[in-house]
A and B are shown apart, each in its own frame.
Chain A
Amino acid sequence: MAFGTIKSVRKVFPVGELGSRATEPVVALDDASFAFERGELVALLGPSGCGKTTLLRIVAGLIAKTSGSVTIDGREIDGPLGDYGFVFQAPSLMPWRTVIDNVLFPMEILKRSDRAARARAAELLELVGLSSFHHARPHQLSGGMQQRVALCRALIHRPNLLLMDEPFGALDELTRLEMNDLLLRIRKETGATVLFVTHSISEAVYLADQVIVFSRRPARVSQQIRISLPYPRSQAVRFTPAFTQAERAASEALGIVPHLEAVAS
């Protein structure tokens, strides 16, 4: 059995939960199904507002699904497990804590903030190139550096699964490429299983073992694309035919370019 199984997950937000302006229930997610193995990096790709973020929060146990089933590592998810790392689009650091204390926050909540935790925090900060910033405050760091701290915070408790919600979407192009390479390096070091929400086709293809393509709302999984480019990947891979082919396949699944066969006929 696969490490993670998402089966026919459906989420309908009732009128009351969406604020006063909504007049009918919104189907955020309509029948999402896919599976992934331990250690895989899975990109959830789709247009904005297509429910992929909702799915990520369902997997995290933060919101309840309407129907379907989510199984991670043999456990059915119906609430937070305390065992996942979460990275948001904004770094969402705590301005009142120093960098190292931000990284240690999950360990404090889990009551495991000991010497070993501090050592691991230092190790992670070293890995993302911030070893000289332990006692800096978040507002003294650039956006990219803050997001790297957020990444360390998400990994400190050795989570079973790393959930990332458009984590590099707010960064400039160059920083984003850097962060992509950093994520791949960290994934290699930690062996983390990652669910990565993005609306960038090239980011999805560059990072992932498999790309799950969502259609517009109500979101369905329209295609599951396995990316066979070998790791470690470097930026040069973007200019290979295999990469372009994978991008084309994702674009076709999204419906932004016609299928090749259709063009031929």
Chain B
Amino acid sequence: MTARSLTRIIYPLAGLVLLVIVWALICRIGRLSVVVLPPPDKVLYAFVANLGLLFEESLVTLKETVYGFALAVALGLPMAVAVAKSRTLNLMFYPLLVALQSVPKVALAPIILVWLGPDLQSKLAIAWLVAFFPIVVDTAAGLRATPKELLELAHSLKASRMQILFKVQFPASLPFVMTGAKVAITLAVIGAVIGEFVGSSEGLGFLLLTATSQLDTPLAFAALFALSILGLLVYLAVEGVELLIAPWLPPAAERH
């Protein structure tokens, strides 16, 4: 491990420790009730004591997230290709897609619940809905941003439309696709939790809601942490896939 990467781990860790100390001090000095803001040790205790439960509920939320995300990719990529390759489809749907992106889609959650019921389907649908738009919009943008010279090169060789799509445009758009995917996976977690808030009998969102209603705030915080860890893990998984299928991209840290 180099000194530089060590620094990149130590400093955020120090920041975290500082934050926890401030949190503990606020609880101690402010004499806050455990229901309002539980001190770090109580949260840690709740986390460890309910590890099995948290893990089980995490798996439920993870499933909703990943299924919704996978469906968003599976439907989003062909949609993006259609919008980017056909002028008619582009004129018809691209402005609509961009406009729909700004609609607060979580507001549709209650309606989707009515349509699909309180089981996996409704959560999956909400996660899909929020993840779909960044995938389509970013992929379409990537396909359209293919360098003109590469297209001319392909045309000068009489490449077919399929060859141009799969050998030039699609690989060229991968950085955009991955950017969209990283936004989408984060949104998919939020979508799944919103779905659980609106109507569910399992998952971290449901656990969070029940714990709060029973005034078990330490457990609610523990669920919140489990949710953060889940979000981080799925994000890292997508970044891992990026490294695997697009190893020519410089590492994320160097790009910013």
Contact = CB atoms under 8 A, between A and B. Distances in A.
Interface stretch (A17-25, A32-40, A80-88, A121-129): A80-88
A84 to B, nearest CB: 6
Contacts of A96: 171-172, 174, 246, 248
A86 B152 CA distance: 9
Contact of A92 (B153, B163, B171, B174): B153
Contacts of B174: 96
Interface string B146-174: 01011011111111000100011001101
Interface in A57-74: 57, 60-62
Contacts of A257: none
A80 B156 contact: yes
B149 A90 contact: yes
Contacts of A86: 152-153, 156
A94 B249 CA distance: 12
A260 interface: no
Interface in B123-158: 147, 149-150, 152-158
A61 B171 contact: no
Contacts of A110: 157
A197 B147 CA distance: 21
Contacts of B150: 92, 94
Contacts of A81: 158
Nearest to B163: A109
A26 B120 CA distance: 60
Contacts of B156: 60-62, 80, 82, 84, 86
Q: Chain B interface residue count: which class?
A: 20 to 34
Contacts, number: 54
Interface in B179-220: none
A108 B163 CA distance: 9
A123 to B, nearest CB: 20
Interface string A86-106: 101010101110000000011
Contacts of A82: 156-158
A62 B167 contact: no
Given A80-B155, A92-B149, A137 B167 contact: no
A88 B155 CA distance: 14
A158 interface: no
A187 B104 CA distance: 62
A109 B155 contact: no
A226 interface: no
Contacts of B155: 62, 80
Nearest to A140: B248
Contacts of B157: 80, 82, 106, 109-110, 157
A135 interface: no
A188 interface: no
A197 B161 CA distance: 29
A84 B249 CA distance: 31
A69 B52 CA distance: 79
B149 A80 contact: no
Nearest to B171: A96
A233 interface: no
A94 B147 CA distance: 10
A95 B248 contact: yes
For A84, A92, A137, A139, which residue has the most chain B Cβ atoms within 10 angstroms?
A: A92
Nearest to B153: A86
Nearest to A90: B149
B171 A80 contact: no
Given A96-B171, A105-B153, A109-B157, 16 more contacts: A60-B152, A60-B156, A62-B152, A80-B157, A81-B158, A82-B156, A86-B152, A86-B156, A92-B147, A94-B168, A94-B171, A96-B246, A96-B248, A109-B154, A109-B159, A157-B157
Interface of A: 57, 60-62, 80-82, 84, 86, 88, 90, 92, 94-96, 105-106, 108-110, 137, 139, 157
6 contacts: A61-B156, A80-B156, A94-B150, A94-B168, A95-B248, A110-B157
Interface of B: 147, 149-150, 152-159, 163, 167-168, 171-172, 174, 246, 248-250
Ranked 6 nearest A-B pairs via Cβ = A92-B149, A82-B158, A109-B157, A88-B149, A96-B171, A109-B159
